[in-house]
Structure 1
Amino acid sequence: MLAITHCAIALSGTSLILGTANPLPLGLAILGSQLPDLDTTTSTIGKICFPVSSWIEDRFPHRSITHSLLATVGIAAVSLTVNYFLHGSIKTALALPLGHLLSCFSDTFTKQGVQLFYPEPVWAVSVSNPRRRLKTGGAGELWVLGIAIAMFCFGIYLANGGGITQKLSQSLGLKDGIVELYNKNASSHNVYAEIKGVWATDRTSADGKYLILGTEGSEFIVSDSKGVYKTGEQIITSKVSTEIGEASKTEVRSINFNDEEAITKLTQLRTAYPGADIYLSGELAIDFPEDVKISIEPNQMVTATVVGNSLKLNYCGLDRAIALLKEQFAVGTVEVKIWRS
């Protein structure tokens, strides 16, 4: 096979099998796909590494030791060892031997085949009919090249969407996979939920796009311009898919109150993060709980409740928290989640 065909097969296989679009593993897969042809000085890599290829060519037949599973195992051992000391990712470590393996396997479809099980002198050929085997540079190989490029593009598409598992989860609305996608991207991007469902109160349509604020088990806490909701409670969902939105920075911090006026620190927080979406969760002991008037909003999650002498907050918007804690002295700690685009 031509070097470019080996590259395309290695790229498509690596992107699909490892679920990656990272240039480093893909580059290593390309390198791995060329290593089998180190046994001849006429190949591209053989010319580049002439001393090595010349030494191998003088001692081993073409398509023998370098096209074998033994060579793949050796490359994998070296790659995994180097990766261990460099503390790299497992996908990066596997890309080099995977590219080599795919290249060796693809050569079993050629007329000569390869000694895949070297040192056993057995030629591995995938197609029994010699006329159906691929000829280097022939029309059949060009078809293989085109299909490999198409599969590589598809692999990149899947990898950028989180891989095959995530794409299936999105298509089928499987919450566990969607939660995993949210957890993977929430620190660097706004993640939106495309929800198809109804309001629990009156069963009218709740279809729409909501910003995901957090998760509770396999359910989402979501928000739009009107309020905060929880799937499975306020919104009964029939299908949920996620969309990675604009880049943002999510910050989580704590604010402690030591018998001090609550809105002072909350107002400072609003000044420090202009334009950010800020939500508070936690429990504060307050002086005058009877003065806290909490209105019940239809279809919305309860984000603030008074229990005894305490005000409990759960994804309560900053402006609402300031209104509720006006002229209150508070003791306690709240967790603050801040979204900045």
Structure 2
Amino acid sequence: MRSITHALFATTATSLLLGTAEPTLLLTGALASQLPDVDTSRSIPGRILLPVSSWLEKRYPHRTITHSFLATGAIALVTLPVVIIASKLWQALILGYFCGWFADVFTKSGVAAFYPSAARLVIPGNPQLRLSTGSPAEYFVMAVLILVAIALLTINSNGGILRTFNSTLGIPSGAVEIVNSEGSQYLLMAQVYGRWAIAQQSVNEKFEVVRPLTQTDLLLKDSSGKRYRTGSSQNCQIIASRILIERSSPVRLQVQEMQLTEQVVAEVLAQYQNSMSERTYINGTLTVEDAEDLVVTTHADSFNTITLQHGREVGVVQLESASPAEVLSLLGDYYASGSLIIRTVEVL
């Protein structure tokens, strides 16, 4: 079997089994696939590593010791320190070496996979179906491997099979899964198809993802900053039939937690003003003193980021992804106690 066929087989297997499109890992797998043929000086690795290939060639027949589970295990042990630096690199190395010799089991002579046993592993049992080096059948296998590799690289570049499946179908629960896995790394946009819950008009718009709310619902915002619960539950302002998630830009998250004990809300938030931006979201619960005159306006057609429950002498305010401007406008002059989590998304 040709060297390029070995490389294609190893590259495809590395991309499939490691779920990666990382060039370094794919190249490692492809290069490692050439090493089993170091047992002959006529091969490319044999010519490069001539002292090693000459020594092996004199002592072992071709496709025996280097084409075996024994050699694969030995390579895995010798290169084990690589795991400390990069575990996936080590996996690609071992996988590439294994694929390099295992591909030869489909040739007419097979390999001594169970060395030191002389028994040869040959697949399939029918000799007429086995590959010959340079035959049309090998070129057909190469073409299939190229197509499969291209498909795998495309899928893995877009986040893997599960993400591609979810993105294609656009099911709201699948969109939530994508946001859960990628929301801390990328600014995500959602193309939403569905209808407005109240107006019953169709929706075909793009929104920025704020965060997941449930397993089926997302909190999204439009260009003006207005937020909407979007998904399949009855509480949504947008009932979505499809939600397609797209990556926009890499981001860095900053999360700060604060405790308030009868403090003026505006004075506390002023301490964090320098780190706040248009993508700063505040979550938490505050007990507000002297809240008799505190009024929170609610909207049926959008998500209410601030809700209020009145008690005898205090008001309990619930914040869900509220902006600093909203919090300051409503609660800035009040004394409050409770805990807040400030999450800021910084676009890189």
Q: With structure 1 as the length reference, what TM-score do the two structures score?
A: 0.87
Matches of 1:208 and 1:270, distance apart in 2: 32
Matches of 1:241 and 1:220, distance apart in 2: 12
Q: Does 1:298 align with 2:304?
A: no
Query: Kindly, what percent of the aligned residue pairs are identical?
Result: 33
Aligned length: 337
Of 170, 176, 198, 2:195 maps to 198
- How much does 1:282 deviate? 1.0
- Residue in 1 that maps onto 2:141: 144
More deviation, 279-288/146-155: 146-155
Of 184, 187, 201, 2:184 maps to 187
Equivalent position SS for 2:123: coil
Distance 1:176 1:95, change over 3 A: farther
Q: Does 1:316 align with 2:318?
A: no
Q: Does 1:255 align with 2:254?
A: no
Matches of 1:251 and 1:208, distance apart in 2: 28
Question: Which residue identity does 1:136 align to in structure 2?
Answer: T
Equivalent position SS for 1:120: coil
Equivalent position SS for 1:38: helix
1:108-133 Cα shifts (integer Å, max 9, x gaps): 23333222333332333334565554
Matches of 2:242 and 2:111, distance apart in 1: 50
Equivalent position SS for 2:212: strand
Contact map agreement 2:107 2:131 (CA 8 A) in 1: yes
Matches of 2:72 and 2:174, distance apart in 1: 33
Matches of 1:180 and 1:32, distance apart in 2: 35
- How much does 1:335 deviate? 0.9
Matches of 1:292 and 1:137, distance apart in 2: 82
Matches of 1:202 and 1:12, distance apart in 2: 50
Q: Does 1:111 align with 2:108?
A: yes
Contact map agreement 1:211 1:222 (CA 8 A) in 2: yes
Question: Which residue identity does 2:282 align to in structure 1?
Answer: L
Question: Which residue identity does 1:224 align to in structure 2?
Answer: D
Q: Does 1:229 align with 2:228?
A: yes
- How much does 1:202 deviate? 4.1
Matches of 1:184 and 1:49, distance apart in 2: 44
Matches of 1:69 and 1:177, distance apart in 2: 40
Contact map agreement 1:162 1:181 (CA 8 A) in 2: no
Distance 1:19 1:177, change over 3 A: farther
- How much does 1:229 deviate? 2.5
Q: Does 1:47 align with 2:44?
A: no
Give unmatched runs, 5+ long, in structure 1: none
Matches of 2:240 and 2:289, distance apart in 1: 40
- Residue in 2 that maps onto 1:65: 65
Distance 1:10 1:177, change over 3 A: farther
Contact map agreement 2:172 2:241 (CA 8 A) in 1: no
- Residue in 1 that maps onto 2:11: 11
Contact map agreement 1:289 1:306 (CA 8 A) in 2: no
- Residue in 2 that maps onto 1:98: 95
- How much does 1:94 deviate? 2.2
- How much does 1:19 deviate? 0.7
Matches of 2:166 and 2:113, distance apart in 1: 38
Equivalent position SS for 2:122: coil
- How much does 1:280 deviate? 0.9
Distance 1:339 1:6, change over 3 A: same
1:90-115 Cα shifts (integer Å, max 9, x gaps): x3332222212222232223333222
Distance 1:66 1:176, change over 3 A: farther
- How much does 1:175 deviate? 5.5
Matches of 1:187 and 1:77, distance apart in 2: 36
Question: Which residue identity does 2:219 align to in structure 1?
Answer: I
1:178-217 Cα shifts (integer Å, max 9, x gaps): 4443233222310223333333334332443222222234
Question: Which residue identity does 1:277 align to in structure 2?
Answer: R
Equivalent position SS for 1:290: coil
Contact map agreement 2:305 2:320 (CA 8 A) in 1: yes
- Residue in 2 that maps onto 1:336: 342
Question: Which residue identity does 2:34 align to in structure 1?
Answer: Q
Matches of 2:275 and 2:201, distance apart in 1: 39
Equivalent position SS for 2:299: coil
Equivalent position SS for 2:66: helix
- Residue in 1 that maps onto 2:209: 212
1:261-310 Cα shifts (integer Å, max 9, x gaps): 32244356455435x31111112222332332222223222211222322
Matches of 2:273 and 2:20, distance apart in 1: 40
